[in-house]
Each structure stands twice: as structure tokens, then as C-alpha cells.
Chain A
Amino acid sequence: MKLNGSEIIAECLLEQGVDTVFGYPGGAVLNIYDALYKYSDRITHILSAHEQGAAHAADGYARTTGKCGVVIATSGPGATNLITGIATAYMDSVPMVAITGNVSNDLLARDSFQEVDICGISMPITKHNFIVKNIKDLANVIRKAFKIAMSGRKGPVLIDIPKDVTGAVYEYERETCAEIVNTMLSSQSDFEEAAKLIAESERPMIYMGGGVVSADAEKELMEFAEKIDCPVATSVMGLGGFPCSHRLFMGTIGMHGGYETGKATDNCDLIITVGARFSDRVAGDREKFGKTAKIIQLDIDRAEINKNVKIDSYLLGDLKDTLAELTKVSEKAEHNEWTKQVAEWGKNSAVTETPKSDNYAHPYHIIEAVRKLTDDNDIIVTDVGQHQMWVSQKYRFEKPRTWCTSGGLGTMGYGLGASVGSAVAHPDRKVVLFTGDGSFHMNLNELATVCSYNLPIKVIVMNNTVLGMVRQWQKLFYGKRFSQTDPHRKTDFVKLAEAFGVKGMRIHNDDDAEEVLSEAFRTNEPVVIDCRISPDENVLPMIPPGKTVDEMITEME
């Protein structure tokens, strides 16, 4: 049948099973939005307040569903506003298709109104991008974009479409979307080699990352860990991929990870890395990381092997397949002494909580109180900073895809948009955003979106009135010269919420926390909770950048 380019876009989205898109209209995408009007019974469009919020929403939608997020923006500033959102998704391997309009072919390359070379701009932060200058290529480019976004190591793909292409008419034929199968690249002998290292190990540990969640390989990981009786540490990105309540779970690893994961890393004889990439926040010292141990790495991306840390043996392929195969060829083992030792280190976890003051609540107290009000399937989103690390340390995650955080790029302002995407995807679950006053100030405009769609997100602003994480580094490494980290803002978050049409509440200290939170969680409407935290609260323990657990800071001031 003959359709115009915009209808072809809508049909191709339907081919891919897309029923929800995020975006913001504009001149160059008028045709596309006209088609969305026509297809509104099959494609729900969520309108954000700013394109960045829409991109983060598509990201949150993708992380919590496993599906590909879709975001649409107009040319020029619409497209550039997506960039932080796309880069965030790229760093955390989140599948996303971003569709941008551009000026018509005859206006391209003339510095036309709202023209920008978004393909050039987005090249380093996308898996691939396309500009579709000819209507005959459109359908296949969209299909290819989804395939690239969802296969191998997932990530964002951008499609730039000049306005005349979205209006041109062309023959369209529906195609069924083929299931994506990632080929296994390792051979039987690779598995046997890895199994041999595992059999020889007396003190193994698993270091898992976001790849486990991305590959939906949580069951395979658990079977593997249980069979070889191996303690599990996770990167911040991997949280939810292994239940925190499991006897083999140690905690997060790295800069703000637990003492036991650091000690285990330095004392084990084998590290089995599953879907993780030895980032500087985990392997602060690349040379010393796991220096007494052999390292096996399971990943889908060949370029991650030997990138940061030297690997002894590796397995390439979809983690679901490689983990299942490795479990099969590995001998059942018990490491009682070792797991006991790890548990012992866990008890010694030397973090001292700052004494309570009547004027403030303690962040751990708030997180634990929230945990009591949430189910294992409820979704926790964060922004970036101290609150993010506190949540990663304290919130007990049990299920995959219940955790949304910008781990790689560390995008302050990510949270509210991602919460919108999560809440749209999961109307049956609670969505809680932990944010800080710094992060929240960046993109709180999306409260307008929260209100428009009445998304019952509980926004907990850990309000310490300062830019806490940077301030903590200034305390530690810059002689307490608090340069530009105390903004002296007078924002009243309760009134602010109310101005947006959202309920606002306040937690003054630990004593009223439970009561306020219970009331907030009782309603099925959005609530912003201003939670007063001491500006002197720190994230501990902390391994200074470039160091190991031996230099872990457990106390400050």
C-alpha cells in the first residue's frame, strides 16, 4: 500500500511491537506528529517538558521493560537536547531508537532555520546513526536501527529524517520482525579452559555488572553461582541481577562498595567477571585489581576483553548462553572456608553512621523506611550523587529491571525523566525516585509531565542544600575549599511541587520519616517529599580514585 513517510515510520514502529513513544513536537516533525495523531489508538505518545526528559524517559522505559525505548524530537535544538539522554543510554548499553526530524533535503547544508548535523554530533554516542535522504530507504533503515539497538551489546541508534521524506509517498509492505539471536563466539575448548580455572580455584568470586540484567541472565547467573558456591559482588549497574538477600551476595564493588567486596577482590584467587567492564569506579587501580587472582571474563562485546584489565580466559556471547554452558561444564564445588571468611569481612564493615541530629534525617534511615513500603517488583530510580550511592549501598534489590540509574555517564538530572518512562511502562508498580536537591534542580521541569499524566511517582529529594558529592571530594582532597558547592538556594520543594499540581510533603528528621512516607505511599498520586539531610553527611566507605581497598576511607571528620 502507498503511505507517506510518517505513516511508514508509524507502521515500522508497530512492526517492532512499539506501543509507547516519548517525545516533543516541532516544525521538522509536523508530518510525523500528524501520523501519530492518526495512529494514536495504537501508539501512545508521552509528551515531555523538554527533549532531554523524553530521552531519559525512553531510557527508563527500556531499562525497566527490556524493550527498545523510542524518542522523537524535532530538528536543531530538539535534536541537540536529546544528546545527554542518548549519551546516558550509550554508556549504560540501553537500547533506544531516537528519531529526529531535519530540514527538507533542499534546505540541508545551508544553515537553514533549526538545522543541525545531528548525525555528526551523535556519532560518538550512538552504536550507529542514519540520515534517510530518500523515502525508498526509510522502512529498511528503521528496521535496521531496531536490530542494531537490540542486538549484541545494546545501545542507542539515531535516525535523522528530513521533513520532505516524512511527507513523501512510497509503497510500504509490512514485514514481520525477526527474533534477535546473538551467536555464541566461544568454542567448547574455551569453556573447558574456563571450567578448569574454576575447578582449580579455592577462593573464587563473581564480579557481575549490568550485562547480566541487559541479557536477562539472572537465573543463569544464580544457577552458576550456586553450583560453584561462589560469592557475588556487583557493580552499581548490576544491582537487581542477583538478589541482595541471597547467601552468596556480598554487595557492590568499587569506590563506594562494601569492605568485604574489596577484601574479597584482593584475596581471591579467581575473579569471574560477568557482563561488567572494570570501569575506573570498580578497578580504581587497573594494575593492582585482582592481582593475586586469575580473571575470567564473560561478555558479549569482544572489545571489552583486555580493555582495562588483563584477562586470563574469556567467553564471548549472550550471557544467557555462555553462563548456561559454563554451568554445565563446571564441576559442583563447595568453598565453605572462603564464604565464611567473606561473611566475616562483611561483619567488619566499618561504616559509622553519622549521629542523628534532631534537625535532619539520616539517608540510610529513609532508604530503609522506603524499602519497607515497597515490594520487590517496585522500581527504584535515582539521580546522580551521594543519594545514588546511598541507595546503591542500602536498598535491598531482589529483582532485575527494578533499578534505574545513570551508572556510566553519571547524568545529574536523569532521574525524573527515567521515572516517567518507568511509571508509564509499569502502571501496576510503585516507582520511587531518590534524588538530591542538586540533581532535582537540573530537570525538575518534568514534574509538569508527571502531573499531566498523573504518574504516581514518589519523588524523595534528599535535600542537604549542597552539592554533596563534589563537596565530599572537596573535603577529602581540596582542603575543605567548598568552591561553588553551596548554592544558598531557597527553593521550597513542597511549594514547588504544589505549583506544578503535585502533592508536596516534608520529612524534618528521622522521627517523622515513617509517618510521612507511609502517607505518601498510601495515595496513588505523585508526591514530592522534601527530606532534610545534613550537609555534612558523607558516602562511606570510600576507596579514593586510583586506589585499592587497603586505602579505604571509613571515617571522615
Chain B
Amino acid sequence: MDNKQIIGLFVHNHPGVLLRVTSLISRRGFNIDSLTVSPAGVDGYSRMTIRINGDDNQVDQFINQMMKIVDVKKAEVLPENSSVASELILIKTSTDGHDNNDILAVTSKYHASLVNLGDHSMTFRASGKPDEIDTLVKELDEFGILEMARTGIAALENGDKTLNN
């Protein structure tokens, strides 16, 4: 089963709130593949964006469980077709045995910018939809990925609607 859904949480920025959320996720057996936390733009609140793998019933359970955490003010699904989701990646590729231009041909397709050139490596920065980042990673894997860091997904729903109100 592969049904990924993104959930936005609007939470009180109290110490331990990340632990409360992740501990509940783990003990209820949910499978998360991305989690980000950042200020919510409203004093005293943070926003978490979590992508989980599960059917509609599981996602419904997830939201209901999250809403039981005292510090969670709101939890909602951000539907794929009416939200914008994005993430950033820094990725270091080996250049040994490859023509740098071949690598650049791949990265340019994804508008990835070269941020550092080493003796045996190139480091790129790219941002975009999570699945685009996934394909970039797949393509660069052909050349050998030395290391990479992804920020995790940030997402907002389209239109005037916000989680904050």
C-alpha cells in the first residue's frame, strides 16, 4: 500500500511538543516519511508538516489522535491536488570516472544549482515537489551519491484558507 498524505499541524510552541507528537506517532504505529517543524508566523506557535503512509481511515485516526495532544491546536490533511508542497535538498555527487557535463546535464533538468565544487565531488542545491526531488536523487545515484541532506516537506493549502484561524 502506497498512499502518502501530507498533514499540517498548528501547535503551541511549548518545550517538548515535538516529542509529544513524535512519541504519539511511534506508539500508535504510524509510518512517517517526512516531518518538518518551523515557526508558524504566529507568536507562540509552530507548524509541523508530516507526511504519512496510510489509507483514509488511518489518516483519519492519525488526525484524531493528534488532536488529543493538548498542545496541538489544529491538524488537517493538505490534499495533494489543492496544496503546494516543496522541499529542499543538498546533494554531493562523486565526479570520479564521470564527465562533469553529464552530471550537469541531469541537474539542469531539475534547476539544481551547483553550490560547491570539490576535487572529486560536486554539491548541488535543488528544491521542488517531493517526487521531483526523489527522481533527481535517483538519476544522480547513477554517478554515485556521497552524501545528501533533505529538509523534509513544507506544504500549504492553496487559496485563502490557513491552518492558523
Chain B residues with CB under 8 Å of A120's CB are 19
Do A303 and B19 touch across chains, with their CB atoms under 8 A apart? no
Number of residue pairs A-B, CB distance < 8 angstroms: 28
Do B19 and A306 touch across chains, with their CB atoms under 8 A apart? no
Which of B19, B64, B65 interacts with A123 by CB under 8 Å? Answer: B19
Do B16 and A119 touch across chains, with their CB atoms under 8 A apart? yes
Do B16 and A303 touch across chains, with their CB atoms under 8 A apart? no
Do B23 and A301 touch across chains, with their CB atoms under 8 A apart? no
- B14: nearest residue on chain A (CB-CB)? A130
Do A306 and B70 touch across chains, with their CB atoms under 8 A apart? no
- A133: nearest residue on chain B (CB-CB)? B15
Min distance, Cβ A301 to any Cβ of chain B, angstroms: 7
Q: A119-B16, A123-B20, A123-B23 given as contacts; is B70 within 8 A of A128 (CB)? A: yes
Q: A119-B16, A120-B19, A124-B23 given as contacts; is B60 within 8 A of A148 (CB)? A: no
The answer, yes or no, to whether A495 is at the interface (CB within 8 Å) is no
The answer, yes or no, to whether B67 is at the interface (CB within 8 Å) is yes
Q: Mark out the residues of chain B between 1 and 52 whose CB falls within 8 Å of any chain A CB in the assembled complex.
A: 16, 19-20, 23-24, 27
Q: Mark out the residues of chain B between 120 and 140 whose CB falls within 8 Å of any chain A CB in the assembled complex.
A: none
Chain A residues with CB under 8 Å of B57's CB are 306
The answer, yes or no, to whether A302 is at the interface (CB within 8 Å) is yes
Which of A119, A148, A307 interacts with B70 by CB under 8 Å? Answer: A148
Which of B20, B68, B70, B71 interacts with A303 by CB under 8 Å? Answer: B68
The count of chain A contact residues (Cβ–Cβ below 8 Å) is 13
With A and B bound together, what is the CA distance between A302 and B60 in angstroms? 10
With A and B bound together, what is the CA distance between A306 and B64 in angstroms? 11
With A and B bound together, what is the CA distance between A119 and B64 in angstroms? 23
With A and B bound together, what is the CA distance between A301 and B60 in angstroms? 13
Do A306 and B60 touch across chains, with their CB atoms under 8 A apart? yes
Chain A residues with CB under 8 Å of B16's CB are 119, 123
Chain B residues with CB under 8 Å of A148's CB are 70
Q: A119-B16, A148-B70 given as contacts; is B65 within 8 A of A303 (CB)? A: yes
Q: Mark out the residues of chain B between 64 and 112 whose CB falls within 8 Å of any chain A CB in the assembled complex.
A: 64-65, 67-71
Do A303 and B27 touch across chains, with their CB atoms under 8 A apart? no
Chain B residues with CB under 8 Å of A123's CB are 16, 19-20, 23
The answer, yes or no, to whether B158 is at the interface (CB within 8 Å) is no
With A and B bound together, what is the CA distance between A60 and B148 in angstroms? 55
The answer, yes or no, to whether A86 is at the interface (CB within 8 Å) is no
| 0 or 1 for each of A269-312: is its CB under 8 Å from B? (1 = yes) | 00000000000000000000000000000000111011100000
Chain B residues with CB under 8 Å of A305's CB are 64
The answer, yes or no, to whether B61 is at the interface (CB within 8 Å) is yes
The answer, yes or no, to whether A127 is at the interface (CB within 8 Å) is yes
With A and B bound together, what is the CA distance between A303 and B69 in angstroms? 12
Min distance, Cβ A144 to any Cβ of chain B, angstroms: 9
Min distance, Cβ A512 to any Cβ of chain B, angstroms: 50
Chain B residues with CB under 8 Å of A124's CB are 23-24, 27
With A and B bound together, what is the CA distance between A127 and B71 in angstroms? 11
- B16: nearest residue on chain A (CB-CB)? A119
Do A303 and B23 touch across chains, with their CB atoms under 8 A apart? no
Min distance, Cβ A123 to any Cβ of chain B, angstroms: 6
Chain A residues with CB under 8 Å of B68's CB are 127, 301, 303
Min distance, Cβ A317 to any Cβ of chain B, angstroms: 15
With A and B bound together, what is the CA distance between A306 and B16 in angstroms? 29
With A and B bound together, what is the CA distance between A485 and B141 in angstroms? 58
28 A-B pairs, CB-CB below 8 angstroms? A119-B16, A120-B19, A123-B16, A123-B19, A123-B20, A123-B23, A124-B23, A124-B24, A124-B27, A127-B68, A127-B70, A128-B69, A128-B70, A128-B71, A148-B70, A301-B68, A302-B64, A302-B67, A303-B61, A303-B64, A303-B65, A303-B67, A303-B68, A305-B64, A306-B57, A306-B60, A306-B61, A307-B61
Q: A119-B16, A128-B71, A303-B67 are in contact. List 8 more A-B contacts (CB 8 A).
A: A123-B23, A124-B24, A124-B27, A128-B69, A128-B70, A303-B61, A303-B65, A306-B60
Nearest 4 A/B pairs, CB to CB: A303-B64, A128-B70, A302-B64, A303-B65
Which A residues are within 8 Å of any B CB, using their own CB? Answer: 119-120, 123-124, 127-128, 148, 301-303, 305-307
